[in-house]
Structure 1
Amino acid sequence: MVKETGQKRAVLTVLGSDKVGIVAKVTALLAKHNANILDISQTLLEDLFSMIMLIDIEDLSLDFETLNKELEELSKELEVQIKLQNEEVFRYMHRI
């Protein structure tokens, strides 16, 4: 069961080969559009990078779809997979 938080939240995942600047560029893009990182976890398995973030999107300076498009462009630049989903959608898709 999902707790009611009163916040609009999203889950952002990043997967790919490790390289300099992934965290910096992703977090800079989020900060630029007023998305607040509530929690973050990252892991390296040899040269494989994975990161998951829970972000507050209540006060975004643009709409969710436009942020998603900018993240898609960044994923091409960084050659990693970046996926942004509303928290409710993420939890529904990953329920046990």
Structure 2
Amino acid sequence: MFAIITVTGADHTGIIAAVTTTLAEKDVNIVDVSQTLMDKWFTMILRVEFDETVLPIARLQDALDEVGTQQSLVIRVQSEALFSAVNEI
């Protein structure tokens, strides 16, 4: 399945490393990524692909919630289909 992951929070060293390391450990492939800094705020959007029969989206969210807590970030995972439907309205 394809999913959209958003990462937001105060900028600091190690954000990209923490998020992408967790994704690699879960065998989640990053298909596309965009990141930007707005003053002191970091924002990253990733389009990822993974096997939901092996890694349910809720388990991926749980793993990224741990990263979010450790890094003081807000990380959200949505199926690409849901993300697209919501943003087309």
TM-score where L is the length of structure 1 = 0.86
Q: Which residue of 2 aligns with 1:47?
A: 40
CA RMSD of aligned residues (A): 1.5
1:76 aligns with 2:69: yes
**How much does 1:60 deviate?**
7.3
* Greater fraction of residues in helix: 2
Gaps of 5+ in 2: none
| 1:15-94 correspondence to structure 2 within 5 Å | 15-58=8-51, 61-94=54-87
Runs ≥4 residues deviating over 3 A: none
State the identity as a percent.
Answer: 35
Task: Give the counterpart letter for 1:57 in structure 2.
Answer: F
Q: Which residue of 1 aligns with 2:5?
A: 12
Q: Point out the structure with max Rg over C-alpha.
A: 1
**How much does 1:66 deviate?**
1.1
Gaps of 5+ in 1: 1-7
Check the 8 A contact 1:38/1:53 in 2, yes or no: yes
Aligned residue pairs total: 89
